[in-house]
């Protein structure tokens, strides 16, 4: 059981880390080192020997290992990222990098994504040091840079260049899962992530004949690009069920006393009400146009036009995604992956998943744990290169009306103190039994 010092420290650490501005604007414009040094110092105080690693100056990662009692057991990776997305202070109720604690809530960028989890990890590790606790298997702690961009300076760099630090790791936990989802009818659901859609960020390029804007031009690059973007945006992707999503639908149907009719998934989703939001984004591939760039003067038809599309594909359906994009872009538009990462799937019948479920249920006996697939991606993608099966498990007990999803990259990101306390208790319980 987490002690009083651990409960105090998780709040302090969350606030302190928020005050360290680690805004990642992409293109290498971020400095995680101050946060990495802060985390490393807290680990060193607990008797660990953290290693700081950089691919680029200031883009710092921290890795430490806690030796387990069973040297024959596989190791477990516990990871969280140190960078955050940008925040416009004028839009916020409090300054996004104040780390202010007000009315039992910690405010600021990273409160949920994901300096809260970083703080939980630190609080648990330090409690173990005070109590002389050792886990059954080795636990490797990793605080990473660059998750909010390409991860090239973070988990990608660690996986490609420092694989030895993760020797023996077969499973890992990170963001995002084991949070309270209120269904509006009094039920509290705790989804644990056992999969992620793959990332397929696309760059579309249309080329044509540059000319004066007053003349007819059937080779207009902007027109060609616009047509392709419209086709992609309007495309209705077919239903595709992965094992994780099948398990999620089956368990949710049972919770609501419904027949798990997987031949009529859309009908089942309608019957699930708000709980459908846990799975509806992961029953299909998707592609959303997000950026357009063409031209430099209103009376000049440019010779080239470019668009970017945020594509996501389910485990096992990347080939279908590629073929569909090829068809939708057509002969006049070229496309390529601007950034690509694999889709992931983890077993929901594993001992590790069962232990995560048990840890949540111990401290939230009124809750209902279900598996789910994340619509986006995490550092688990890069760590999968090392053969590490990833789960989303950063536990939080949240009050009704708290929009967890809106906290990610949103305005007024914040986390209740009680949610952090719950997270420390559950994480401690799980890691002691893992």
Residues labelled as active-site residues: 83, 147
DSSP state of 237: P
Secondary structure tally for the chain: helices H, strands E: 12, 19
Instruction: Determine contact, residues 415/176, Cβ cutoff 8 Å.
Output: no
Distances (CA, A) of 115 to 39, 112, 175, 317, 364: 11, 7, 11, 32, 23
C-alpha–C-alpha distance, residues 419 and 431, integer Å? 18
C-alpha–C-alpha distance, residues 174 and 392, integer Å? 5
Q: Which of 11, 69, 55, 52 is nearest to 142 (CA)?
A: 52
| Alpha helices per DSSP H over 236-346 | 243-255, 265-272, 318-329
**For 15-131, where are the E strands, in sequence order?**
51-54, 60-66, 75-81, 101-102, 105-107
Distances (CA, A) of 52 to 43, 66, 114, 378, 433: 12, 16, 19, 21, 28
Torsion sign over Cα 164, 353, 263, 180: negative
Phi, psi of 340 (to 5 degrees): -135, 135
Pairing of strands 51-54, 60-66: antiparallel
- Number of other CB atoms surrounding residue 102 within 10 Å: 11
C-alpha–C-alpha distance, residues 278 and 207, integer Å? 40
Q: Which of 88, 101, 115, 98 is nearest to 19 (CA)?
A: 98
Phi, psi of 146 (to 5 degrees): 65, 15
Residue count of the chain, please give it: 434
Q: Which of 203, 219, 158 is nearest to 383 (CA)?
A: 158
């Amino acid at each position: 059981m987490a002690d009083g010092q651990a409960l105090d420290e998780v709040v302090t650490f969350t606030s302190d880390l928020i005050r360290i501005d680690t805004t990642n604007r992409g293109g290498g414009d971020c400095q995680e080192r101050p946060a990495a040094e802060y985390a490393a110092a807290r680990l060193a105080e607990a008797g660990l020997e953290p290693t700081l690693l950089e691919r680029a100056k200031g883009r710092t990662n921290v890795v430490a290992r806690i030796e387990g009692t069973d040297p024959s057991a596989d190791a477990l990776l516990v990871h969280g990222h140190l960078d955050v997305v940008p925040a416009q202070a004028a839009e916020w109720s409090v300054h996004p990098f104040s780390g202010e604690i007000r009315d039992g809530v910690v405010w600021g960028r990273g409160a949920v994504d994901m300096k809260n989890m970083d703080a939980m990890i630190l609080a648990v590790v330090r409690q173990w040091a005070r109590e002389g606790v050792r886990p059954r298997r080795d636990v490797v702690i990793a605080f990473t840079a660059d998750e909010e961009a390409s991860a090239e300076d973070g988990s990608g760099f660690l996986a490609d260049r420092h694989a030895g630090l993760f020797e023996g790791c077969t499973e890992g936990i990170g963001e995002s899962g084991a949070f309270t989802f209120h269904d509006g009818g009094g039920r509290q659901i705790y989804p644990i992530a056992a999969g992620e859609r793959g990332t397929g960020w696309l760059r579309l390029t249309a080329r044509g004949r540059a000319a004066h804007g007053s003349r007819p031009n059937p080779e207009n690059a902007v027109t060609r690009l616009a047509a392709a973007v419209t086709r992609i945006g309007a495309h209705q992707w077919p239903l595709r069920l992965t094992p994780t999503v099948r398990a999620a639908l089956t368990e949710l149907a049972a919770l609501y006393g419904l027949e798990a009719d997987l031949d009529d998934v859309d009908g089942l989703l309608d019957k699930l009400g708000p709980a459908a939001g846990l799975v509806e984004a992961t029953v299909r591939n998707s592609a959303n146009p997000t950026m357009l760039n063409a031209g430099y003067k209103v009376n000049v038809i440019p010779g080239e036009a470019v668009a970017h599309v945020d594509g996501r594909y389910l485990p096992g359906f990347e080939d279908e995604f590629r073929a569909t994009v090829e068809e939708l872009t057509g002969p006049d538009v070229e496309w390529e992956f601007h950034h690509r990462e694999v889709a992931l799937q983890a077993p929901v019948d594993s001992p590790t998943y069962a232990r995560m479920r048990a840890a949540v249920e111990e401290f939230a006996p009124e809750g209902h744990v279900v598996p789910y697939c994340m619509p986006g991606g995490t550092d688990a993608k890069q760590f999968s290169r090392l053969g590490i099966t990833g789960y989303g498990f950063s536990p939080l007990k949240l009050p009704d009306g708290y929009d967890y999803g809106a906290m990610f990259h949103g305005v007024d990101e914040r986390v209740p103190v009680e949610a952090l306390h719950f997270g420390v208790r559950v994480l401690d319980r799980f890691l002691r039994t893992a």
